[in-house]
Structure 1
């Protein structure tokens, strides 16, 4: 698939109800795709329904599917239900993540377990099911974090939980290559969403802004087109982590 559109394709988005995932879902529909929208809990069902309505307003078919993706059985069910509703998945995007800013000496075992379950385990088994279910010539894209290239405090379990995804991505890219499935990760800078603000003080927010072009945080509108590019013309990029953060950090 080398064109700019997703016409006739089927896209599954984990965490697709709102924020970045919701925008990716809307843009996929505008580009011609049918869309399966995953959401985690009842608290985000309303957002999922709004995003589904936008997909349908764009003239495309869609479905919403709930599930806790820290349980691999729910990931398998997600792919099964999505395929049943819209057809074989061509593009699978995982935006699921959980952030925690807390010193190592204060982090509990349960917090550690939850962070790695959400950020690493769910990502691993999403890739596993994508490898089983995504069509030949498909695309698999995971959202990680620019903190993978940062030297900072406080985010040991968030950046630590996301860091294995780079290794998962590289392995999957090799293992799925004979079917021409590209596998990539995108590492945004701190994004201007509620996901970010709950962890930071106003002073630290201003510091994060100062580290990128224009003195601003990453916008979801900066990242969604990159995902769309990877799902179309950018298919030759595989096994890579793309640091899309306005110069916030690199390696």
Structure 2
């Protein structure tokens, strides 16, 4: 479920962040009286300029009413840090980030590495969509049918322009690009190029993983796609997750 924030909630969060411009603020979105409310908490971290910590007493006080964790990044990094991602996965909650006078909502997606494969819910497209989400780019939802049938219909290539992708030559490959690999003449697998000769992908029957863009994959690459909204800094968000997961 996507967490939608009202303008009043955004103003409350940004006002709290503006009051403490040199330290990370924190708090909860809680369900009260039939709706969401922002409840600021004291940042008890040893160095609140760089980290945040919410006291156990606050977690206990709000309990099951907590719908999201809120904090800010005074240094301006518009992504969840590696430590943020570890904690977010542990809480299984949306996290809201106040940064650069804007509010960003991050779904509680699993870590990018180590996922089990389930076509349609945890597959190569799901992995890429979640990586892009962490980077601040929302890809379209794609309803899948049967895996071989979808591949035979060139599902990704058909929907890629609608999702904001355009095709580029392999010779211009750069971090953030999506590689389509083909089997029996049909593109049936997608990988995220991480740069430095490495890819992130989720193959059928395997755990999602980071590995070299080897000759095996290069020989099977059918096309390369670049998203119009991808920027060089976006890879920081993906790297933050990869560094801190097993």
TM range (shorter): under 0.3
Higher RCO by CA contacts (8 Å cutoff, separation 6 or greater): 1
Of Structure 1 and Structure 2, the greater strand share is in 2
TM-score, normalised relative to structure 2: 0.25
* Higher CA-based Rg: 2
* TM-score, structure 1 normalization: 0.25
Instruction: Please identify which structure carries the higher helix content.
Output: 1
